[in-house]
A and B are shown apart, each in its own frame.
Chain A
């Protein structure tokens, strides 16, 4: 059980050619723009700039402009 706990807390940042930045694990998310601080465990952050739900992905990267 100790082993499982450690695997969950390791932070992973996954980035692909297109799409959001996926961050999982034990991290603190500090949104300086909106003045919030949370420990979400997992987030999908917009990397294309087009989201209407800053700073989170809303699949705008998939839409044809």
Chain B
């Protein structure tokens, strides 16, 4: 297992074509990955990522759904990474930093979305005001995952407890 570690807690997984990077500290449990592609992303299994579970294009599609840098990907062939556009990934900071200004301008117009994840948290994405116990914070072009099951140890945020307690709703 040691050969997969890049630094504390972080892992990388490859299928020869792409490498998927996993940063557990960044995960906010939006639950998109295993809901879309359980054959590859299975939090109940160790290691939880199985790169043989689906074809490369499917893995790319699902990793692109991750709202944070908990999951990201790169082509193993570095020359291919130079031509990836922002529409193919939400991690342009990782691959094409020169596109950041364009991305920021685009995101500004998008409305706020509030998603009720199946048996999971409330995922709120966009630019909005968060008032927690009377304390106001402006969330700018970002995403938060709010506990819906009541069992999280880091209220009001989700910490994955809903899976452990078998929350349905």
Contacts and interface: CB of A to CB of B under 8 A. Distances in A.
A21 B129 CA distance: 13
A49 B119 CA distance: 10
A32 B115 contact: yes
Interface residues of A, number: 30
A65 to B, nearest CB: 12
B131 A46 contact: no
A10 B117 CA distance: 23
Interface residues of B, number: 29
Contact of A27 (B114, B116, B132, B151): B114
Contact of A30 (B116, B128, B129): B116
A49 B124 contact: no
A3 B15 CA distance: 54
B34 to A, nearest CB: 14
A45 B144 CA distance: 15
Given A15-B130, A32-B118, A33-B116, A55 B169 contact: yes
A32 B36 CA distance: 12
B111 A28 contact: yes
A50 B126 CA distance: 28
Interface in B120-151: 122, 124, 126-133, 144, 146-151
Interface string B33-69: 0000000000000000000000000000000000000
A29 B125 CA distance: 11
Contacts of B24: none
A32 to B, nearest CB: 5
A14 B115 CA distance: 16
